[in-house]
Structure 1
Amino acid sequence: MAEWALLSLLFLVGLFPAAPSQQVPVLLWSSESSVWNSQPSIHSGHIATDTELQRYLGPALTKGPRNLLLFFQDKLSIEDFTAFAGVYGNKQDSAFPNLQSIVESSPSSLVLPSVDWYAANMLPTYLKERLGVSPLHVDQSTLMELKLNETVPSLLVVRLPYGSSSGLLAAKDVLRANDQAIGQVLSTLKSEGVPYTALLTALRPSRVIKEASLAVGNLGRQLLATAQPTPSYPPVAFNSSRNTPCILFWATNVSVTVDDVQVDLTDQTFTASNLDLTGSLCNDINSVLAITYKEAVKGNPLTLRFFLNRRFYPVSARFWFTLSQVEIIYSGNTATFLAPQVNAPSNYSFHCQYISSWPTFGSVLVSNTSKNSPASKWQLHIAEFQIQGFNVTGMAFSYASDCAGFFSPGIWMGLITTLLFVFILTYGLHMVMSLKTMDRFDDPKGPSIAVPQTE
């Protein structure tokens, strides 16, 4: 009953907050009972990573039915459920009447309202490795011709379109058609008495949320400032020997000043299709991200290198990583910058609004180049800097340790002004409460004062 109640709440308008633009929902249900004995602890703003999604899928793959059915929609967001599920979950007005009935009546079910889109896209590959079978793309007609066996694992994939029109009515019609397709496929399995576990998710979200998001690059504190649009490109990722990301780097601006020439390297860093990461490495102790630009300055190559170290600190009883130094290599010369303020727990990422050697931005990068070197006047400026070199899981950053202090100048100004007004108000109340009336008056019935008159 607990699973049914949670699934019912999903379709109530406004239950879950608007998911960020890079997350998709994942719905799971099974014909077998006790596949998921407990629901995950879901709180507002939490985004399930690929590791968490694999952990949730574990019970279904180990003790669930051997037939796995994956409904893959082109686009889907949690807002589609809240917008088209009908008023107060009314199935007659809903675009998902079959899905609601099937999920609510399933012996086991699980709802993940916000899952990283990268993790959802990797589901066919992950399930193929776990089940040891290749995915088979089917529809209702081909499904009726298949003879499924309870002992032989199978991975069936059903693709569902979202619709090319941006209109809400067109989107609702397509979602209703997809819901009918889901109902027909599951009715076929039910008529044949085949046990199954089903998943519904999407390749990408259907809507882009205009609100502030927890997506990559939008983790900085912007008090008393106008927020700028956040670029949507993915972070730079260096893969380990296992072909999985082990270093992530993201920024909104990367600029260098070499030989009095300022060059913006942002597009070459994040939108180039053939980024050269030769010289990068990662292990449990050291990580190096080396980015080489072939024709960065005056047609000559330039290399940026970020050195990260991981150490155990007995005082805090945990591992921390530091950005020990950053290097600019150009024309045989090297400019070295120290970054003593860039540090965070090793299972976190690090974010800062500016990592720069320019004095106007706080000089977080401190030059460590000899004054006699031609590279002593080189500068490096990175805006909305975020990096993670250890404990990387997929293409999503871990929780970010921000360089911004909790009490910004704006907060201090507000606190001081508030305290001043409180002091004035307290002093005024004290003065008013200290006022006392006179307790003695002259007697008006007494003799009047006689003033003699002289002629």
Structure 2
Amino acid sequence: MKMSGSRCRSSKRLIIFHVFFFTFAATGSSTPQVPVLIWSSEGLPPLASPAAGHITTHDQLASYLNSAFGSGPHTVLLFLQDKLSKDDFTVFGGVYGNKQDSVFQNLEAALQSSSSSVTLPALAWSGYSAVPSLLEEKLGVSPLLVDADTLSHLSINKSVSNLLLISLSYCTGAQMSCKEVLHANDVIIGEVMSIMKLKSVPYTAVYTGRQPSRVIPESSISHRPMGRTLLQMVQSDDRPPIMYNSSNSTCIMLWAQSLNISLSRTSSWIDLMNETASLEGSVCNGTHSRLVLNYADRYVLSFDMTQRMYPVSGRNWFTLDTVQLQVNGQTATFNGGRGIYAPAEYSFHCESVTSFRDALLVPSGSLGNSSDWRLNFVDFQIQGFGLNNGTVFSYASDCASFFTPGIWMGLLTTLLLLLILVYGLHMIMQLNTMDRFDDPKGPTISVPQTE
């Protein structure tokens, strides 16, 4: 859907903005998608209105960005939120005309005051956000991560293209509600817009998400496999595992639904699985494997694994000895050898690997300023040895013990019922029949009656 025009029509944009999102949120789609909002202080090329329910492809977005950034230098502000969906606007955007109830007041004000704006309600999402890479390709510059305070002191060269990345968090349910987080993000957008206005720098702003906040599965429930499935199967078709290759063969594989880190007990979680990582520094051999995930030198996550022979069990086992997190020159080390291990030819899988609750990752020694750093890996699976085909995990050794609390309750209940049954059978077997009876040929017993 398109929203563009001169300033004389700017008063209508807010109504179109709400009606647009309310209408498209009601249509629904089984394909994962993220909305994209684009507005500019100078002007944007027109965009034909798509049919209702249309999902914009990456090629269509690339074609539009080619026309928008055809020639000359451009300064682009990319507001990249961890998660974003149309439902966030319909639930928290005051779509019923109550402007005071909207958490996107600064965003709506920016759209209303801009020279022109374009809205893509549904951009196809396939496991990663295409917007940052497309902008980087069209502008020919790498993104610069900034915040409102950094931007206020930053000198922007108008003669060259600039891609300024403002990272916005999303609610995780751990600290703040979604409404509070989205309101805080809207405040950041308002601060950035005010700074750009003071600097008098022409800009184009883009607001989107790294992934949808609400993803509807592509396949229906009837097509899903029923019953138990092998753990070596990849958990998601949309996101392949991270693989490190050495000597033309894969020697380390890692997959997780999310790799969450938190740098304080009050800050929101950062999911590194949504970022693109470099594997430079990773090594592997017959006894030691090290997987290094370098996220543009902002965050560095390292997994150290060793393989050794244990004579008691008569087989080789591998252990995830340490997990290291480096941020801004500080390093925190978490030990995992006591709880994260598996036979050398297996992979290790666990539904939840944390450093703070039922911790499998134990902080090592004094962490100094990083003592409040926390890790939370969801649906985590890793293998550093014994990879044969290099495409799927080997059979997984799961961290969950066989005798879970539910199994213990069932066993104790069965034992109690069995004891009751045995006691009842024992009581029945103790019943005795009479061994003497009255002689039927003898005189009958008469009972005199008295009046």
- Shorter-normalised TM-score: what interval? 0.3 to 0.5
Query: Normalising by the residue count of structure 1, what TM-score does the alignment of the two structures yield?
Result: 0.45
Query: Normalising by the residue count of structure 2, what TM-score does the alignment of the two structures yield?
Result: 0.46
